[in-house]
Each structure stands twice: as structure tokens, then as C-alpha cells.
Amino acid sequence: MNPIEFLLEPLSYDFMTRALTVTVVASIVCALLSCWLVLIGWSLMGDAVSHAVLPGVVLAYVVGAPFALGALIFGVLAVALIGTLRDTSRIKEDAAIGVVFTTLFALGIVLISVTPSQTDLSHILFGNLLGVSTPDLLQVVMLGTVAFAILLLKRRDLTLYAFDPTHAHAIGLSPRVLGALLLGLLALTSVIALQAVGVVLVVALLIIPGATAYLLTDRFPRMLLIAPILSATCAVVGIYTSYYLDAASGGMVVLTQGLLFGIVYLVSPRHGIIATRVSTFRRRQLVTQRADS
């Protein structure tokens, strides 16, 4: 098979085209948001919200509402519950996150087990990329466009909030509002990624791209470029690999991102473990030479 046939064969199927489009859109939006999550240290919050939307999706199915609506409601609810527990009790934020997300996730699993359905709702947990319909595709593209636009328009304010919320407050910005905006975008982005890889793997799309970019550059504007490019590339590679290996599409996309992170972790020019060890070895040699001289 020549390279052109290799690239075009999967695209001859409509379900593969839809799967590829949904995955690339979700990967780009998640990667952009992941830069702020990694910088602020909200990776666990991303995990919490992405899992807490599960009962909302199931209830939306029961009443015949769009999955995105139910997921968004429960994503916002999870954030509100975490904030309430943190502010009104002795429980710290990490414990509040653990309590809320595990409880809501368990509720979602229970609802799946007791909901009579002719549809296999397990795809909510693990994704069903190859079963994405045209309405699902349009929904992901619309939500992705909204989230992407808001992140770009508010990127300066969100970046200032991430680096120095005190300074943001001093110049007239509200850190509380910016934090709420970021959490709302997290809930919206979880809904988008849900269509691609399912609840279980959403957190990977929300963390790995930002973490990978963080190892490649010290400048945040570059992170905002590197993370989406790497994430979209991994999406394409993962989809094509899953097609030719007949493997799970969502899992392969996340696995590709994880493998790329592992490579960057090892060989990143400035922050990779190999470069760090070499730099440390050279400094020790220099110290030794100066001591001997």
C-alpha cells in the first residue's frame, strides 16, 4: 500500500471521517484548556469534573434531552459542591474534590445499571468514536467553537489569574469570576471530550497535552501553540493506528498522547530527564575541575 492509499483509505468511510473530526476538535480544545489547568495545578479538578458529568449524561438520556445539557449541568453542580464543601467545612480542596467526584461518578454508574435501555450506555464511560452521528458531530463542533473562542478572547485575563491573582485583582479583575469562568469552561470542555473518548479517558485529554507542552517550553504563549498542535497530531495518529490495528479508537488516541509525553519526558532539550542528568553531570565536572585547579 502506497502512502496516499494509506492516508485516504480510512477517509473513504463516513464514520471514520466523523470520528477523526470529533477527535481533532476535542483534542484541540482540551489541549488549550489543559495549559491553564497544569499551570494553576487544577489537574485533579479536571479529573473530578470529567467524571462528575456521568449522571447528568444518563439522566439526559432518560428524559430525551441532549447529552451535553445534562453533562454541563452536573459539571457546574460538581464545581459548586466542591466550592461549598471547601468553604463551609474543615475539609481541604483535594478531599472535597475526592468526595464529590467519586460520589457523582458512583451515582452515574448506578443510574446506568438501573436504566432500562436498548442503547449500550457503557459507551458513555469508554467512548464510541466510530458511532458518532452527524448531530453529535455538529454538537461537538459548535461547543468546541464556543469554548475555543472564549479561551482565546480571555486568554490574557486567565493567564494573569493563573500567574498572579493578586495582581489581577489590583487592576480591576475579579479572580473569583475568572476562576468560575475557567471551571465553567472545564465543564463545557469535558462535555466535548466525552463524545470522543468517554468519561474515563477525558481527564487524559485535559492533562497530558498541557503537561507535555510544559516540558518543552518556559513561555506560556508557546504552550498555547504547542499543546493543541501535539494533541491534534496525536488524535490523527491514534485514529489511523486504531483503524489499521482494529483497536479501540479513544484508547489509542490517549495512548498515543501518553507515549509522546514519555518521549518528551526523556528527551526534552531543556527539561527532559536525560538533558537534566547531562547538565547536572557537566556542572559537577566543572566544579571538580575548578576545585582541582
User: Which pLDDT belongs to residue 133?
Assistant: 80
- d(CA 118, CA 257) in angstroms, rounded, equals 33
Mean pLDDT by 10 residues, the chain (293 residues): 81 89 92 91 79 84 80 83 84 85 88 71 70 82 90 90 86 85 82 75 88 92 94 94 89 93 91 81 76 67
Domains and CATH numbers, the chain: 3-292 (1.10.3470.10)
User: Which pLDDT belongs to residue 240?
Assistant: 93
Q: Which residue matches cell numbers 459548535?
A: 142
User: Which pLDDT belongs to residue 283?
Assistant: 80
- Selection from 80, 81, 53 nearest residue 69 by Cα: 53
Alpha carbon distances (Å) from 281 to 34, 278, 285: 33, 5, 6
- Selection from 35, 48, 77, 72 nearest residue 212 by Cα: 35
Q: In this structure, are residues 116 and 127 in contact, taking their beta carbons and an 8 Å threshold?
A: no
User: Which pLDDT belongs to residue 94?
Assistant: 80
C-alpha cell at 54: 456521568
- d(CA 288, CA 283) in angstroms, rounded, equals 9
User: Which pLDDT belongs to residue 178?
Assistant: 87
User: Which pLDDT belongs to residue 151?
Assistant: 92
Task: Please give the full DSSP string across 189-203, using - where no structure is assigned.
Answer: HHHHHHHHHHHHHHH
- d(CA 110, CA 108) in angstroms, rounded, equals 5
User: Which pLDDT belongs to residue 285?
Assistant: 79
Question: What is the pTM for the complete model shown?
Answer: 0.86
How many residues are there in the chain? 293
**Collapsing DSSP states into helix, strand and coil, what is residue 248?**
coil
